[in-house]
Every structure is written in C-alpha cells, then in structure tokens.
C-alpha cells in the first residue's frame, strides 16, 4: 500500500535525533578516563534504547510502505546502532586493558556492544542490504570472553521494553543468527519476529568447541564471516552451535501458536499479523530441516544480460495471451462476443484498447530454481515477497512463472534487486465453464500451469483464493473431449493467488 502523497512530508518527531547523535559523537572523542567513557556509553545507550522502542513501533508495525521519512528514520536507527557498537568495542578494549575482563562493568559493556552489533545486522537489511558484514570484532569479543571463561556470565538485558536473561555467548550467537537470516528473504517484520524468538531461545544458544554429533552451526572465531555449516576443514578456533536444542525450542513455540498464544506475548513482534509469524515458523522449520540433511550444492547460476517483460499479479498473467496478439479495436470487441463468452475475453480486449507500459527488467542471473533480476524501483514499487510474476521473453512467445522471494534495494540508487523462485513455464489460459445455480453455465478463464512430467499429477491452475474456495466442478473442452475437473489442493500460495492442484473427475467424448 502506498501512503498518500499528502502525508509524505510529515516528519517523525518521536525522538530527539540530533541530540542523540550529538551525545553519541561526544563519547566517541578520545577519552583518557575509561570510567567516564563507560558511564557515558551506558547513559547514551539507555537513552537510545528507549527512543528505539518508540521508533520501532512506528517502523515495524505500520502496514504502509515506507516513504522517505521512514527510510531516513530506519537509517538513523541503523547508524546509531553501528556507532554504539563501534564505540562500545573500543571502550571495552580499554576496559579490559585497565580493569580486566572479569570487572562487571566490562562484561556489561561487552554484552551491550554485542547487542548493538546484532541490532546493526538486523537494521542493515532495511537500510543497506547487501553490505558485506564484517564480524571480526564480534568474534574478537567472544574470543576474549571465552578465554576468560566469562562467556556464560548471566545478566539481565533489555530489549523492546522486555527484560531477558542473557549471556555474552547468547548475544554473540544472536548477532550471528540475525546475520544468517537477514539475507533479504525475510522482511523487517519477519526479522523482528525471529529476533524476538532468539531472545526466548537464549538458554539454547550455547556453543561447544568440538563438532557435536548431529547438525550444528559453526562460527570461526578468527574470521570475518558469519555462521557456516559443517565441521571446519582448516586449522583455527571455532564454536559449534548444536541445532537439537533450537529444534526443541521451535517445537515449543509452534505448540504455543497451535494453542492460540503468540510468542512472545508482548513487544513489537506480538502485535504483528499472525500470517507473518506463520511464514517465519515455516521458514525456520525449513532451515533447520535442511541442516539435518547432507548439504545440497546450490543450483548452478549462470550470469545473464538480457531483458524481458515482467507481468505482475494474477490479472496480468491471465491477460497475457491477449497482449501478445494485438488486434484492431473493432475486431477485438467483435471477438469478445464469440462463443467463449464476453466476460472471459474482456481483459484481453481492454489491454488491446489501452496501451500498457510494459515493465522491462534485466535478468542478471539464472538457475534451475530461479532468477536474479534488477529493475527500476518505480516500476516495482508495489512488489513484495510472495507476489506472482511472469517473465515474458522478448518475442512474446514463451513465459516463466515465478514468485518473488527476495526484494532489496540495489547498490545503484533507484534500482531494486529481486530474487525469484521459478514455479513453472507459463503454458496457456484455458477457457472453462462452471455451472452456477440459478444462472446456468458461466465461463471462467484460468492460466494452466503444467507440471514437470507428463503424468498430469503435478499440473495446476492459477486462481485467486475466493475462486479456489467457490469454484466447484468445472468443465474444460480440449480437442474432442469434455473434462470435468475439481480444484482440490493448494500447491503454492502467495499474495492474491493460489496455484491449485486438481483432480479430473470424468472425461467424455464430444457429441
């Protein structure tokens, strides 16, 4: 949803941004007094944390698309988290040198710094996605705590107005897990949900130094990288995060949702739509399950440099064949009255009467599973994860159906990078007829999506959810036979569309 232009320039004045920035800059100055710098850091960090709770509610809970004001606001949050993480790290190093790591102030400083490092990773997705994450300082703090056996020292931490029991080790893994999930496949709301669950899973975020039996994440303590899977092949210190406790926690969270309770039951994430939670639950489950299997090599990507037209949404996909063959207006309107029924052909007629602005996108890479695209931000403004798209070749003859799984701003201003998951080749629109009580036969136009093999068991139709629920039995006439079909399953689903499987109930010869 696009926010009305009249509201575009209403500034978000919930917090004193300039004041907070100034106070952060002040503690960034070279400071000989470590105690004063530490105290200054905690004061500003508390002030900023309180401001962040207010801003987070505005930025995360909105159902509206972000305008410039929100983007600037998110950049402010990200910038402050990044600055505080950097300054916290510097003061922590001074603190360790002056007082030793066992000093409670130093441990708290490390914990707060790791928290800001995690927040930076989280907000990076919204502000500068694709920025390479350098986690060397995160690893260094963990290594220092580990060497002094202080990594499991429990302390109370505040996040989103809630208090949690945490450890340096838990906060370290939180930052790494957020980096793992913040790759663009989840939006800001969903990352917020993941984060809120990570806080509840804090007791399970406990690493071991030798590869455990079963699946585990790996953090290389002497690297700049995020989490990896499998045992380390090269020499060097690593920590392994076993996944069995995470799977158990996931089951606990799932059970809460099944019983009608949102986890956690307070905070920003608890006020988000349940569909977002269900999406994240499924994503985490898929992720954990994949880790139990042998690693599957990523589908080979091929660099491309070609353009194609992109259709967005079910209505455009449905009208596709009509667009390909343009015809004079009179002929189109006459054709609309043919035996197939005027309602079925109306979209294609309208497309021929009104010139459309084709949405041209550049395919940057392609694999057996999907596509990477780059496009104008303006033409893809309304696109979001879960949307249905069709890529039509320049000759207009062939098309591929796909769903949007990733949408992040490109490095070039005004452009967006899209990740699409391939669904099927776009075959044809089939004209079907359904019997409606009291109204007789009614034509229905549905894009047919063939399965990968000729058995027909994996074929489907693209419909909207209402149609899926209400369609009942439909008849298709192909060649010399009438087929009676019934949609009976949901294969894939996204915003405003369902890829429905069907069963063929009967087939009869014509006449």
| Chain residues 450-479 in contact with another protein, contact rule CB under 8 A | 450-451, 454-457, 459, 465, 468-469, 476, 478-479
Per CB under 8 A, which of residues 242..301 are in contact with another protein?
245, 249, 252, 254, 256-267, 270-275, 277-278, 285, 289
Q: How far is 427 from 317, CA to CA, in rounded Å?
A: 11
Going across the sheet that includes 216-220, the strands are 228-229, 216-220, 238-242
Closest to another protein by CB, 170 vs 409, is 170
Q: Tell me the backbone φ, ψ of residue 220, rounded to 5 degrees.
A: -90, 115
Stretch that binds another protein, among 176-184, 210-218, 351-359, 483-491 (CB under 8 A): 483-491
Smallest distance, another protein to C-beta of residue 280, A: 11
Per CB under 8 A, which of residues 305..334 are in contact with another protein?
321
Smallest distance, another protein to C-beta of residue 140, A: 21
The string of DSSP letters for 426-449 reads --EEEEEEEEETTTEEEEEEEEEE
Smallest distance, another protein to C-beta of residue 25, A: 30
Smallest distance, another protein to C-beta of residue 252, A: 6
Compute how many residues bind another protein; rule: CB under 8 A. Answer: 86
Instruction: Please state whether 497 falls in left (phi above 0), alpha (psi between -120 and 50) or beta.
Output: beta
Which H, E and C letters describe 341-381, residue by residue? CHHHHHHHHHHHHCCCCCCEEEEEEECCCEEEEEEECCCCC
Smallest distance, another protein to C-beta of residue 258, A: 6
Stretch that binds another protein, among 5-13, 125-133, 303-311, 503-511 (CB under 8 A): 503-511
Q: CB within 8 A of 468, min separation 6: which ones?
A: 487, 490, 498, 500
Closest to another protein by CB, 35 vs 282, is 282
Smallest distance, another protein to C-beta of residue 375, A: 26
2 near another protein, rule: CB under 8 A: no
Per CB under 8 A, which of residues 20..59 are in contact with another protein?
none
Closest to another protein by CB, 127 vs 401, is 401
Per CB under 8 A, which of residues 375..414 are in contact with another protein?
397-398
Smallest distance, another protein to C-beta of residue 185, A: 18
Q: Give the bridge partners for 162, in sequence order.
A: 159
Per CB under 8 A, which of residues 91..110 are in contact with another protein?
none
Q: CB within 8 A of 230, min separation 6: which ones?
A: 218, 295
Q: Which residue, chain included where needed, has tokens 């006459």?
A: 334
Per CB under 8 A, which of residues 192..251 are in contact with another protein?
199-204, 206, 245, 249
Q: Are 163 and 156 in contact (CB under 8 A)?
A: yes
Smallest distance, another protein to C-beta of residue 115, A: 16
Q: CA distances (Å), 93 to each of 45, 85, 110, 142, in order?
A: 18, 12, 9, 12
Cβ neighbours, 10 Å, residue 174: 27
Q: How far is 319 from 333, CA to CA, in rounded Å?
A: 15
Per CB under 8 A, which of residues 139..198 are in contact with another protein?
149-150, 152-154, 156, 158, 161-167, 170
CA 303 vs. chain centroid, Å, equals 23
Per CB under 8 A, which of residues 419..448 are in contact with another protein?
427-428, 430, 448
The SS3 call for residue 58 is helix
Closest by CA to 306, choosing from 363, 367, 255, is 363
Strand 370-376 relative to strand 302-312, pairing: unpaired
Residue 72 structure tokens: 């600037």
Closest to another protein by CB, 142 vs 416, is 142
Closest to another protein by CB, 63 vs 300, is 63
Smallest distance, another protein to C-beta of residue 82, A: 26
């Amino acid at each position: 949803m696009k926010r009305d232009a009249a509201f575009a320039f209403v500034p978000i004045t919930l917090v004193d941004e300039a004041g907070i920035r100034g106070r952060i800059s002040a503690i960034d100055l070279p400071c000989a007094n470590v105690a004063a710098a530490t105290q200054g850091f905690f004061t500003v960090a508390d002030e900023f944390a309180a401001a962040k709770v207010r801003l987070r509610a505005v930025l995360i809970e909105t159902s509206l698309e972000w305008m410039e004001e929100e983007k600037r606001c998110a950049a402010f949050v990200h910038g402050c988290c990044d600055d505080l993480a950097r300054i916290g790290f510097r003061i922590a190093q001074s603190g360790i040198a002056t007082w030793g790591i066992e000093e409670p102030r130093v441990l708290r400083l490390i914990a707060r710094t790791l928290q800001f490092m995690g927040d930076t990773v989280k907000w990076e997705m919204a502000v500068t996605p694709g920025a390479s994450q350098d986690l060397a300082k995160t690893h260094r703090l963990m290594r220092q705590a580990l060497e002094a056996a202080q990594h499991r020292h429990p302390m109370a931490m505040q996040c989103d107005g809630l208090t949690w029991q945490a450890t340096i080790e838990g906060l370290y893994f939180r930052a790494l897990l957020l980096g793992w999930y913040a790759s663009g496949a989840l939006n800001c709301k969903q990352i917020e949900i993941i984060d809120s669950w990570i806080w509840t899973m804090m007791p399970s975020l406990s690493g071991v130094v030798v590869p455990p039996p079963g699946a585990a994440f790996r953090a290389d303590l002497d690297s700049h990288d995020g989490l990896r899977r499998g045992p380390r092949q090269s020499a060097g210190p690593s920590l392994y995060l076993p996944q069995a406790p995470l799977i158990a926690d996931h089951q606990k969270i799932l059970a809460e949702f099944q019983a009608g309770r949102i986890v956690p039951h307070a905070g920003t994430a608890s006020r988000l739509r349940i569909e977002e939670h269900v999406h994240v639950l499924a994503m985490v489950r898929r992720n954990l399950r994949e880790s139990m299997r042998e690693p599957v090599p990523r589908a080979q990507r091929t660099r491309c440099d070609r353009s194609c037209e992109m259709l967005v949404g079910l209505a455009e996909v449905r009208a596709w064949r009509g667009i390909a063959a343009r015809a004079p207006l009179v002929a189109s309107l006459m054709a609309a009255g043919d035996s197939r029924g005027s309602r079925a052909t109306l979209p294609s007629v309208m497309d021929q009467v009104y010139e459309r602005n084709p949405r041209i996108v550049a395919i940057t890479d392609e694999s057996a599973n999907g596509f990477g695209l780059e496009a104008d931000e303006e033409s893809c403004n309304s696109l979001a994860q879960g949307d249905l798209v069709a890529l039509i070749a320049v000759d207009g003859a062939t098309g591929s159906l796909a769903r949007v799984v990733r949408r992040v701003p490109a490095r070039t201003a005004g452009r967006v990078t899209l990740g699409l998951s391939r669904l099927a080749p776009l075959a044809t629109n089939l004209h079907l007829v359904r019997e409606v009580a009291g109204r007789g036969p009614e034509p229905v136009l549905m894009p047919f999506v063939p399965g990968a093999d000729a058995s027909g068991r994996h074929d489907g139709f693209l419909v909207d959810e209402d149609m899926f629920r209400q369609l009942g039995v439909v008849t298709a006439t192909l060649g010399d036979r009438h087929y009676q079909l019934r949609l009976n399953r949901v294969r894939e689903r996204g915003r405003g569309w369902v890829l429905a499987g069907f069963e063929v109930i009967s087939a009869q010869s014509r006449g």
